[in-house]
Structure 1
């Protein structure tokens, strides 16, 4: 498993395809704060709950100066279906070779039903205006994560 990023680390830059086929480069977002969250798979119950929570909170997060990027190993076409089915308004990015997840420490060994397996480690990072990790949350729970994140960042509840 790669080392996990923590507060104070430089956020590894990336360019990934969105659910609409466009590209997003993290360094292009410098000057604003970015919430990058990694999730295992579109259209699964936990990932759907988390994505819907982020989407419902998106306008207030934007008002507080945050851009939200959700990253999974799913292909852009599946992400587009997920976005449309769940009426998501956030940007979903595709990392099919898991290279970005690995660089950020969001892919590696984890326990699943008592067994050690390789997989996506549900993680969220807050990147500051200069591209430094301000907060790193690993092994987060899908349900209630956005509300907890807002509290941890000192933001008002929606």
Structure 2
């Protein structure tokens, strides 16, 4: 496999990081990697939101014992801060830095046109690393010959 295309549809910490880690790993292995941000995944590349991605605590079964407290005020911020500290110890960069690093390796970052239109956004709303706003058909053309992963 020489190419991987990853669809990022969730705007939460646990929705964005897996895609970034997989894209980074693909680039490290010399593979072509493209990220297609759609729906709430657009938050990861939105200028005003990409520095404020939080862990989804409500209804997140992966939190195990903390699930019962997920709806308490401030719990999302507390858990996000906790995980950010753990990731920092593992040298996993914050989302904005990670996205810039991946783009610098040559990975393609694309916004979904349908979602951009739905949320009344324009190219100016996104970070500079976003190559273009493309349709689903254009994404499939870009992904042709490789694997597609949906996170």
TM-score w.r.t. length of structure 1:
0.35
Which structure's residues are more often strand, by fraction? 1
Q: Highest Rg: 1 or 2?
A: 2
TM-score of the pair, normalised by structure 2? 0.36
